[in-house]
Structure 1
């Protein structure tokens, strides 16, 4: 935990907000409304949290102007237009950061590698030939960096990450534990009942300000590169296959699987467990809800879903039976029934009009 303290006025200035109350109130951390104490700062993001906020013991609250006027039990505030964004900014103020520099004596670094003086290389890190590690980048213990990998400035590479396949990483990229980037893509040619391995000759290129969670796999391209553009954020347990391209500021939640050669646009959101088949395109500004399966290209922005939403067990079983019954009826029969029903409806409407 970071035990540095900041006064209310200084914190308000950092988020371009306005403080109310005791300007020199010392705060030592952020906390939830329920657990906050007198030295904590909490945020209130909507009217539905007003009761929690009134009961909170937080020393100060981040609120909007309208919410402030409804919180009579509190006197110390930071007023901003977007409390959640202000909270996100202040998490970096209170975050405990690794400020180490230098190279631990257990690290193994090839003489041809270029390591910035302000970088930190942790215990048992292995760095291959012609690698580059930029200024203020942190490489935690047991990371393996193969030949010709390049890492930019102010990056954070967590323990047990493997970077291979001549991967190129931009600035301010965070990669969390046990992730593998640049591994061999799943490429095989079927012939005479056997699978013949295709050597993967491409690489992985990752832009600036990208975040990749734990236990992810991002495969190198077969010929061209797998590309993650600036600002992409990826949750844990995500698989990205060879030659996938993901546009700027797109977000992938946990357990997404993206098959090879798919192109995903900018500012997209793929919720948890989404699967995407290979060789399709997804337009910019597309949201795909959880557990959906994307089987064809999406050419227009919007929200898309597939699968069956949760029901109680008995209604779900009945619905499943009805789906099966529909599948067993030839489409031509269904169309005839619909046409017959439409004719009957029109006849009834005509009868009522005559009366």
Structure 2
């Protein structure tokens, strides 16, 4: 368990301390769960009433909310960001590998930095590179000529196929598959002929990829995941896709090939994207939307039908089935009205 004084924590997260700087802190918690050795935060004033019974050693608050808590405070313009930094400082997540295990499967031609950590049962193939301080967990697979940068974490049973490239400070969670073949086939009189996928997956620095996510290698050119991108669990990214810097993709998103996602976009859970389309920078798509064409301007986009009662849904479905006939009837009425006006003239 890590322990740190409030004064030091304030300095490390860039907050202003109001209270006892000698108080020792060993973790973070929510407002109801926090005890006298924990830090919590308040980002929304509507939860301020919870502070009356809060037992935390300190609360991270906006400066204008300082009077809401009688105990020690850490004042920050963005309390949620300050909380994230505090959680990093106090993080107790164990290393996934320590040193290089004697029973790891490492090809003699692989280049392993002396400070890298490779667990028992991990596989590093011929020509692969593992950078300084990176951790490769048990069961992880690093394919031929694949490069893993510095300070990366590859969790258990994650797979990086051959000729892929991973930048510095990346996290690949368990079950993720990087560099599997894209869905490429040519049709020969009803028979599907496989097209070898010879591109790579190139992932830049500070990217995190969730568990059981799959990113296909390019057909000819590379699939590209730019720096700072965050990808949740169970996401599918097809061949030749490019996801630009600092975009965040939530769980269950699927995207077809050769799609471009701009900078700082957010795709909420379950979004589906057609292939060969482009999303501009700062596009935000809400959950379970279906994007079938390019979105050339920044903004928030939605589609789909929100859940309602079954009775209302059935009633609306009946009405929807009548749209075509209603359209035809309106067109006929418009025609009759036009004829009537002509006869009057």
Q: Please tell me the TM-score bracket, short chain as reference.
A: over 0.9
Q: Do the aligned residues in 1 keep the contact of 2:98 with 2:119 (CA within 8 Å)?
A: no
CA distance in structure 1 between the partners assigned to 2:184 and 2:150 by the alignment: 33
- 1:221-244 deviation per Cα after TM superposition (whole angstroms, max 9, x unaligned): 010000000111000000001110
Give the C-alpha shift of residue 70 in structure 1.
Answer: 2.2
Alignment of 1:136-147 (within 5 A): 136-147=133-144
Aligned counterpart for 2:71 among listed residues 75, 82, 85:
75
Closer, same or farther: CA 337–290 of 1 in aligned 2, 3 Å:
farther
Give the Cα–Cα distance (whole angstroms) in 1 for the partners of residues 98 and 241 of structure 2. Answer: 35
Between Structure 1 and Structure 2, how many residues are aligned? Answer: 337
- The 1:126/1:321 distance shift into structure 2, 3 A limit, reads same
**Contact 1:21/1:76, CA 8 A, preserved across alignment:** yes
Matches within 5 A, 1:90-169: 90-98=86-94, 101-169=98-166
- Give yes or no for the alignment of 1:316 onto 2:313: yes
RMSD: 1.7
Does the CA-based 8 Å contact 2:146-2:164 persist in structure 1? yes
Does the Cα contact within 8 Å between 2:181 and 2:216 map onto a contact in 1?
yes
Counterpart-to-counterpart distance in 2, 1:324 and 1:121: 60
Deviation at 1:173, TM superposition (A): 0.5
Following TM superposition, the consecutive aligned residue runs of length 4 or more in structure 1 with deviations greater than 2 angstroms are 97-102, 331-341
From 209, 212, 224, the counterpart of 1:212: 209
1:12 & 1:21 partners in 2: Cα distance? 11
User: Equivalents in 2 of 1:282, 1:337: separation in Å?
Assistant: 41
Which of 241, 261, 269 does residue 264 from structure 1 map onto? Answer: 261
**Alpha-carbon displacement from aligned partner over 1:11-59 (angstroms, at most 9, x marks no partner):** 1111211111111001111011111111111001111110112211111
1:227 and 2:224 aligned: yes
Matched, 1:290 2:305: no
CA distance in 1, matches of 2:177, 2:65: 45
**Gapped regions of structure 2 (runs ≥ 5):** 338-345
Task: After TM superposition, give the deviation of residue 312 of structure 1 in Å.
Answer: 1.6
Report the equivalent of 1:16.
Answer: 14
3-state DSSP class of the match of 1:54? helix
Q: 2:341 is matched with which residue?
A: none
Q: 1:26 maps to which residue?
A: 24
Aligned: 1:172 with 2:163: no
Q: Structure 2 vs 1, CA of residues 105 and 117 (structure 1 numbering), >3 Å: closer, same or farther?
A: same
**Mind listing any 5+ residue stretches in structure 1 that lack a counterpart?**
342-355
Secondary structure of 2:227's partner?
A: coil
Task: Report if the CA contact (8 A) 2:34-2:56 is conserved.
Answer: yes
SS of match in other structure, 1:9:
helix
Change (3 A) 1:225 1:51: same
Q: In the aligned structure 1, how far is the partner of 2:330 from the partner of 2:193?
A: 46
Separation (CA, whole Å) in 2 of partners of 1:337 and 1:50? 59
Cα distance change, pair 249–336 in 1 and its aligned pair in 2 (3 A): farther
Give the structure-2-normalised TM-score.
0.94
CA deviation map 1:287-346 (0-9, x unaligned): 1110011111111111111111111221111111111111344x45445657999xxxxx
Which residue does the alignment assign to 2:39?
Answer: 41
In structure 2, C-alpha distance between the alignment counterparts of 1:34 and 1:328, rounded to whole Å: 57
Confirm or deny: 8 A CA contact 1:212 1:235 kept in the other structure.
yes
Deviation at 1:148, TM superposition (A): 0.4
TM normalised by structure 1 equals 0.91
Q: State the 1:121 CA deviation.
A: 0.2
Alpha-carbon separation, structure 2, partners of 1:224 and 1:116: 29
Q: Give CA deviations for 1:194-220 in whole Å, capped at 9, x if unaligned.
A: 111111111100011101000000000
1:199 to 189, 196, 200: 196
SS at match of 2:182: coil
Structure-1 separation of matches of 2:7 and 2:121: 44
What SS does the corresponding residue of 1:102 show, helix, strand or coil? coil
Q: 1:276 to 1:337 in 2, by over 3 A?
A: farther
